[in-house]
Amino acid sequence: MEIDREQLGVWGAPLTMRVEYGKIREFARAIKDPDAAYQGDAAVAPPTFLMTIAHWAEGGMSGTRAVKFDYRRLLHGEQEFEYVRPIRPGDVLQARSRVKDAYEKPGKRGGKMAFAIQETEYTNQRGEVVAYSRSTLIETEGPVQA
């Protein structure tokens, strides 16, 4: 992993995600969650729904300029969500990301492991922060093993 210290903490350009009822229903069904909270006129998004923005926003997530990964050796180690306000169908979310921290340390089986904490802030159409997500990405020395 190459780390550009100058870029650590710098927010990337925001991406837009329009939250649709059908997408919430599809997602709730895929995660096998029949909760009435994800249905009907007062539906909200399930807790891990925000992961979809990483795949649906055009051009992928921003804010990774601080680190250059070798994707063949990249693991998703941890994922954290902080919930501030409900996310509902019709919301137009802006997501901006930054690499909050990046560091290397010795691996358990020799070699070194590199860690990057990527934080994304989600804001709705009223300018209110609705959530934060934080991903811990781990680059291993050798190929990824199960």
Nearest approach, Cβ of residue 84 and another protein (Å): 9
Is residue 131 within 8 A of residue 122, CB to CB? The reply is: yes
Interacting span for another protein (CB under 8 A) from 23-31, 91-99, 105-113, 119-127: 23-31
Q: Where are the alpha helices (DSSP H) in the chain?
A: 21-30, 51-56
Strand partners of residue 113: 105
Q: Does the footprint of another protein cover residue 10 (CB under 8 A)?
A: no
Q: Does the footprint of another protein cover residue 30 (CB under 8 A)?
A: yes
Taking the least distance from each CB to another protein, the nearer of 4 and 35 is 35
Nearest approach, Cβ of residue 102 and another protein (Å): 19
Cα separation, 14 vs 122, in Å, equals: 9
Cβ partners under 8 Å of residue 71, min gap 6: none
Cα separation, 117 vs 105, in Å, equals: 14
Taking the least distance from each CB to another protein, the nearer of 22 and 110 is 22
Q: Nearest CA to 93 among 14, 23, 17?
A: 17
Site for another protein in 71-100 (CB under 8 A): 75-83, 86
Positions that interact with another protein (CB under 8 A): 23, 26-27, 29-33, 35, 37-38, 44, 46-48, 51-52, 54-56, 75-83, 86, 146
